[in-house]
Structure 1
């Protein structure tokens, strides 16, 4: 089997080649490691590349396959993971100076599941510090670049995973989604990003940002791979008190059996998720996607979710409040960075202040301060309490919408990828990138971003978001697969490498 185009193949295709003996896992891992070495100096998608660990896993899988031992369907297919999921004895920094060099003493549950499935882990991907951002510009170790245009952001906070998959440095990856951090990067890099139902995938070993909102999910290049990856990492975990105690749906088979047409499908278009603030090309591609589903047999209805107008504000009160609590553990006492005060008396309190001043970036400090303020006496009810009431209204609006529709369709992000520096000094403008994705996190429902082609004005990817009811992940994937099939003719191909090589190869 020629290695020339193996990196272009999906996880399903690679699994088939491995099962047939046409390629070994070690060969696949070497191919992707070589691509990382060649192109990641431009992209900076990875913070840590685990060459030895990935090759060790690959060789073990190859030996077991040769010996005829039973293996998982995707054993030997390499993967990358976001650097906020702990890996035993391997660096986990959350892209923050305060955890630089920290080696966790245990593995996250999702990491153990990947190991049990025989997936070699290529390394840890870059992110906004502690997952706080929409552009991966807030990483303490430098930004990740978008493979479509190296002068543009890859989304955030999981821009590293999205860029790695979009530039074919890994066939698939894991990300985490607190307010859109899987789906929004998927939208601007032309990849598929899925946020499962809250509790469908264990959060044990995920460094917490906002515990009631965080969810691990897949980053892939097609819907089938995303469904298969969620099936691998999903399931009840007694170590996570929020984990759903129910069987994992057969998502992979469900997608494979999904019809290409949309007959009988009831689609809701959210009134509040279009119009002012949305780029013209994004709305054009979104409307075309809706029209394609309608032409294929779907019934399309506009639904009114008035609480969505306040969802962004509610999120940016609830999330910082939880951030201020979760990040209190990074104090220089037990692990991570420790900075002693330069002068004066040395006390634990002054050491903690010096450590947090040196270890946290500006965006993290901003959210800690905001969260501490909204939880303080005299402001709790006015801010945090009111935000939780809005959260309840969002859940009610979505429940009412799903009584009329099987799924809801929205643009994933209001714009295509913007250039570096355009919004980094304007937090409010940056926060607006999450306006379409946040309701799913507030309500705990599943959502997925599917590539919807490119915006005509700039040639950059546009994402279409599918939202389904809580525990409706199977429906979400089935509809996303239908949408993917309908859009296949209009989608521009994703780049097979960083933009410079891609453009040169296209000449």
Structure 2
């Protein structure tokens, strides 16, 4: 029964709770047992709060017995990326500089999840301060891909994606700055959604880049993402970037799409997000997905977004610039790590700060701080950061022109399947290329979803289909994403994750 519970979707678990077929305590314990059984190999979690999760589950069961449930997902457990503040639970952002920090408050999305009655299983691993595409830059060790424990689970939110893919959690929260929800979704065979910028509160999210970061759901189905998105979305007066507009009906859109009917939908295939350097197996699965959508009534047109070829360079000027400013607050003076310099009897504040940041930050964080500080320095601001912002405007205009021709845009989510751990650690530029298809959406603030598109022929590993829509049209990504999911799973005869290795046998430890 325990294994059955961990294999069920969040929507199915919600139905089981409503019918009385199970209890929140039972299904929360089942997921805690699963974590205990397999997370030693996967390392999706940095902190597991078994006592707190079971207490929250018991409270959910009491509410249900009294007929006072708080939401459709009341009692369904969830994992939270360690970049989101959780009152009384460690929030480290995958960094030694915040080791052991206990926030005195909850991020808005965490507060909403708690208010809806979802027990929090724990905090998931991530690249330090969300800087990375592989979850190898965590100060607490790399996360492993449940499909092949020698490979990366994507990043920066590889912990959330791996937890969902390994059946350690039915739901997770992630953040997406340049693809950190969608790219891990693609390489782990899960569903990841980046909402419209400002559509989900950023209050309590430890910022990497304020103009790019967005909280979103990580799940195993499009419907589960829609259910979670509706819980966490909406205006937040505590977040100055929050959009004061109601969410469209995302669950209704997902259910409509699940019929597999795409009649009247115009789908734009982005010319620039394909070609040389893209793994043949990934492109083959993408082409098959597009063909299935055409068969379901969609009209497909090719669109060109010429400035997308500059998106990567633009992103890696804007993001480090914002990051260098945001990370200045980690100065050893107020909270977090404090290191005293060796051999200095009475160190100055500057010397303590230098020693602390040297010991507390990893190489990738230091690399981006240096790059960002340089781009913002006197004499270089206009040449680098200012020019990047102008190109960002051009990318937004390309999106506008493309959406004049199509209702949604589609592409592979990532150029390749999961690469081997350590393969690109010494080549930052090669690592950055993994976000080639996802970065444009963050620069323009538009919503996107990644759904599994199948297994690549070369290695039998998951690939992803990305669907993008205009800002505030999140319902479109859910409708088309759900339709693609229905069409694709019908060809596989079930969930793609059913084909993943069985980690519970104990034969799949890190190699």
Q: TM-score range by the shorter chain?
A: over 0.9
Counterpart Cα distance in 2 of 1:211 and 1:247: 22
Q: 2:142 aligns to what?
A: 143
Aligned residue runs from structure 1 range 378-457, under 5 A: 378-457=379-458
Secondary structure of the residue that 1:14 maps to in structure 2?
helix
Q: 2:267 aligns to what?
A: 267
Determine if contact 1:148/1:495 at 8 Å carries over to the other structure: no
Secondary structure of the residue that 2:302 maps to in structure 1?
strand
Counterpart Cα distance in 2 of 1:99 and 1:191: 29
Secondary structure of the residue that 2:424 maps to in structure 1?
coil
Aligned residue runs from structure 1 range 258-407, under 5 A: 258=257, 259-344=259-344, 345-407=346-408
Shift of 1:463: 0.2
Aligned residue runs from structure 1 range 147-162, under 5 A: 147-162=146-161
1:73 corresponds to 2:72? yes
Secondary structure of the residue that 2:193 maps to in structure 1?
strand
* Cα deviation 1:106-149 (Å, max 9, x = unaligned): 10000000011000000000000000000000000000000000
Counterpart Cα distance in 1 of 2:82 and 2:68: 32
The count of residues paired between Structure 1 and Structure 2 equals 504
* Cα deviation 1:21-67 (Å, max 9, x = unaligned): 11000001100000001100000000000111111110001011112
Determine if contact 1:125/1:161 at 8 Å carries over to the other structure: yes
Shift of 1:503: 9.9
Q: 1:249 aligns to what?
A: 248
Counterpart Cα distance in 1 of 2:500 and 2:277: 31
Moved more, 375-384 or 485-494: 485-494
Secondary structure of the residue that 2:496 maps to in structure 1?
coil
Counterpart Cα distance in 1 of 2:4 and 2:70: 25
Determine if contact 2:60/2:69 at 8 Å carries over to the other structure: no
Moved more, 341-350 or 198-207: 341-350
Counterpart Cα distance in 1 of 2:261 and 2:233: 28
Counterpart Cα distance in 1 of 2:322 and 2:336: 21
Secondary structure of the residue that 2:2 maps to in structure 1?
coil
User: Which ranges of structure 1 fall in alignment gaps of 5 or more residues?
Assistant: none
Determine if contact 1:39/1:497 at 8 Å carries over to the other structure: no
Counterpart Cα distance in 2 of 1:140 and 1:24: 36
Aligned residue runs from structure 1 range 92-103, under 5 A: 92-103=91-102
Counterpart Cα distance in 2 of 1:338 and 1:123: 26
Counterpart Cα distance in 1 of 2:308 and 2:398: 8
Counterpart Cα distance in 2 of 1:481 and 1:501: 29
Counterpart Cα distance in 1 of 2:243 and 2:481: 23
User: Which ranges of structure 2 fall in alignment gaps of 5 or more residues?
Assistant: none
Q: 2:219 aligns to what?
A: 220
Determine if contact 1:261/1:486 at 8 Å carries over to the other structure: no
Q: Structure 1: which 4+ aligned runs deviate by more than 3 Å?
A: 495-505
Moved more, 58-67 or 195-204: 58-67
* Cα deviation 1:473-497 (Å, max 9, x = unaligned): 0111011111111111334731587
Counterpart Cα distance in 2 of 1:139 and 1:334: 23
Determine if contact 1:496/1:502 at 8 Å carries over to the other structure: no
Shift of 1:70: 3.9
Q: 2:467 aligns to what?
A: 466
Shift of 1:215: 0.1
Report the TM-score when normalising by structure 1: 0.98
Aligned residue runs from structure 1 range 82-93, under 5 A: 82-93=81-92
Moved more, 204-213 or 292-301: 292-301
Moved more, 249-258 or 42-51: 249-258
Determine if contact 2:424/2:431 at 8 Å carries over to the other structure: yes
1:233 corresponds to 2:236? no
Report the TM-score when normalising by structure 2: 0.97
Shift of 1:73: 0.8
Determine if contact 2:135/2:155 at 8 Å carries over to the other structure: yes
Shift of 1:432: 0.2
Secondary structure of the residue that 2:80 maps to in structure 1?
strand
Counterpart Cα distance in 2 of 1:71 and 1:142: 37
Secondary structure of the residue that 1:69 maps to in structure 2?
coil
Determine if contact 1:172/1:218 at 8 Å carries over to the other structure: yes
Counterpart Cα distance in 2 of 1:267 and 1:256: 19
Counterpart Cα distance in 1 of 2:361 and 2:316: 19
* Cα deviation 1:78-115 (Å, max 9, x = unaligned): 00010000011110000100000000011000000001
